[in-house]
Amino acid sequence: MVGLSFRWGWSETTRGQQPGLMPQERGAGKRGTTRAGPGSPDNPVRPAGPRGCRVLGMTLPILPSTAPPSADSAPAYLALHRSGELARRAADAVAALACCNHCPRRCGANRLGGETGECAMGRHARVASYGPHHGEEDVLRGRAPAGHPPGTRRAPAEGGSRVAGRGSGSGTIFFLQCNLHCVFCQNFDISHGAGGRALPPESLAEVLLELQALGCHNLNFVTPSHVVPQILEALPLAIEHGLRLPLVYNTSAYDALETLRLLDGVVDVYMPDLKLWDPAVARRYLDAEDYPEVARAALREMHRQVGVLQVDEHGLARRGVLVRHLVMPGGVAGTREAMAFLARELSPDTYVNLMAQYHPAGQVSPRTCGEIARRITSAEFAAALEAARECGLHRFDGARAGPCGP
């Protein structure tokens, strides 16, 4: 593959809409069905961006890195690529799509032959949107300098790069669909929706390079558990054309150990959600009674690979585990038990983002899910934070907690 080029633009979005898609493109199709529409060649996926900006239709060159990474800061995947191991893992992972057991659902779908399984995904990854994201944790998005609050775009510095640690954003790629069926999903249109665009490896590689050219601090794969083979397949192509950014694996933690081991030496930062602690609650709200057990095993494996989160001199994540936990009404998430697990079986130094932005979404209503059909209260969030501290945790993200009730 020679002479990669790509197109980019910013699409108009409003609060509550799926980022990167125009209003008429949003929708939620049934799992496992095929639907024409925004995924067609005439209606391609668009990068996400700030509200009020329209598609620009520019063609950008692939910008080279301003300097090669040092041995201490180089992403882990570069060494695997040089040895040929990355390409070997990619080939094995793609071949295994013929009877897909890449996630804990182990549905056995022949994704190479056109079947879709529990994740409703076929041969190629489908992307809902992508672009610099300024709403992620401080260690991922960077802190904006004075006069440039998070969420605003700045011109690249001379040479096409941006100053590290200064709010250039996390290069998020939102993959369509999910292998976990959360009824309360806060991104329901993406995880349960139709549309997007199927990207062959060359196109996915172009997306990675585009985000690097835009000055993002890292590449942030959102809900990637069902498209690990496709990510591995695209990486060597992007590396050959200059990819050097750290990789963030932003997951529900419903990951098979065999798949995570394919990522050993590939992923720099793991960012799992630790959602629910009780199997009965997980069965009701995730359609996955084994979620707590699977997630605990996945977090142990992630920690084994990369350890506690390490940040550079600019406060940006370079390697390690960052755990998210969404505090839910009535304590149904099992926050105290989850925090005790992190401190006891990973490390008291585990970096945690306790999130307070839960709101009734997706399929939640007072009739179907009465106990979680409300926002959490300020008292509930304060109790969750205190529980985490009592368990011995002390590294908490400084990003916004989100709205709470009284």
Helix then strand count (H, E) for the chain reads 11, 12
DSSP type of residue 117: -
Tell me the CB-side half-sphere exposure of residue 211, using CA atoms within 13 A: 33
- The pLDDT of residue 178 is 84
What pLDDT score was predicted for residue 167? 60
* pLDDT at site 406: 55
What's the pLDDT at 144? 53
Structure tokens at 171: 């290069």
Instruction: Report the share of the chain in percent with pLDDT over 90.
Output: 58
User: Which residue type, as a one-letter code, is found at position 51?
Assistant: R
Residue 33: the pLDDT is 33
Tell me which residue of 70, 47, 20 sits closest to 193, measured CA to CA. Answer: 20
The DSSP bridge pattern shows strands 269-272 and 247-251 to be parallel
Q: Is 144 left (phi over 0), alpha (psi -120 to 50) or beta?
A: beta
Q: Do 27 and 109 contact (CB within 8 A), yes or no?
A: no
Domain definitions of the chain by residue range? 6-396
> Is 130 within 8 Å of 48 (Cβ atoms)?
yes
| pLDDT beneath 50: ranges in the chain | 1-71, 145-166, 399-402
Structural element, H or E, at residue 172: strand 170-175
Angle between helices 85-95 and 228-240 (to 10 degrees): 150
Tokens 């793609």 locate to 94
Q: So what CATH class is 6-396?
A: alpha beta
Q: Is the pTM of this model over 0.95?
A: no
Residues 6+ apart with CB under 8 A from 278: 292, 332, 334
Question: Rounded to 5, what percent of the chain is helix, strand, coil?
Answer: 30, 15, 55
Residue 186: the pLDDT is 78
Those residues whose C-beta lies under 8 Å from the C-beta of residue 282, and which sit 6 or more positions away, are: 275, 276, 288, 289, 290, 291, 292
pLDDT reported for residue 403: 52
- Which residues, in sequence order, are CB contacts of 373 under 8 Å at separation 6+? 329, 360, 364, 365, 366
269, containing H or E segment: strand 269-272
